[in-house]
């Protein structure tokens, strides 16, 4: 992936990350947002954000509040690069929004999400 492509990585790509197909790559879980729906994907990285020469997959876990905001984000599977691992939880909660999950009465409820981000 060249630097220009890294700048084009957006939250939509992060939310709908592809499942790894190589046998030497770690298993990447499918996104699960506990009934919440991604609402506002937007650009969230620039070339300067991604350390040169670092690539991999970071799996994150996070809360999704009734307001649709991410919280309590943490890494559950490392890319092997400390700086790369920090990017999703540092940046996505600032830009990602969700339509919250709903209970049987249609009321918004807090839930939990997991997602993988490929760099």
Q: How far apart are CA 51 and CA 42, in angstroms?
A: 20
Q: How far apart, in whole angstroms, are the C-alpha atoms of residue 84 and residue 79?
A: 7
Instruction: Give the H or E element holding residue 98.
Output: strand 98-99
Taking residues 37-50, report their average pLDDT: 76
Q: How far apart are CA 113 and CA 38, in angstroms?
A: 11
What average pLDDT does the segment 94-101 reach? 93
Q: What are the φ and ψ backbone dihedral angles of 13, each rounded to 5 degrees?
A: -65, -40
pLDDT greater than 80 at residue 73: yes
* Domain encompassing residue 94: 3-118
- Give the predicted TM-score (pTM) of the model: 0.74
The arithmetic mean of pLDDT across residues 59-84, rounded, is: 96
Number of domains in the chain: 1
The answer for residues whose C-beta is within 8 angstroms of residue 97's C-beta and 6 or more apart is: 38, 39, 40, 68, 69
């Amino acid at each position: 992936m060249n630097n220009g492509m890294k700048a084009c990585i957006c939250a939509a790509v992060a939310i709908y990350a592809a499942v790894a197909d190589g046998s030497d790559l770690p298993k990447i879980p499918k996104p699960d947002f506990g009934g919440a729906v991604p609402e506002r994907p937007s650009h969230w990285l620039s070339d300067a954000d991604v350390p040169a020469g670092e690539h991999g997959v970071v799996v994150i876990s996070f809360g999704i509040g009734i307001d649709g905001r991410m919280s309590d984000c943490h890494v559950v599977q490392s890319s092997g690069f400390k700086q790369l691992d920090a990017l999703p939880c540092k940046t996505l909660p600032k830009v990602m929004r969700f339509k919250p999950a709903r209970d049987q009465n249609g009321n918004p409820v807090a839930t939990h999400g997991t997602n993988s981000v490929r760099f």
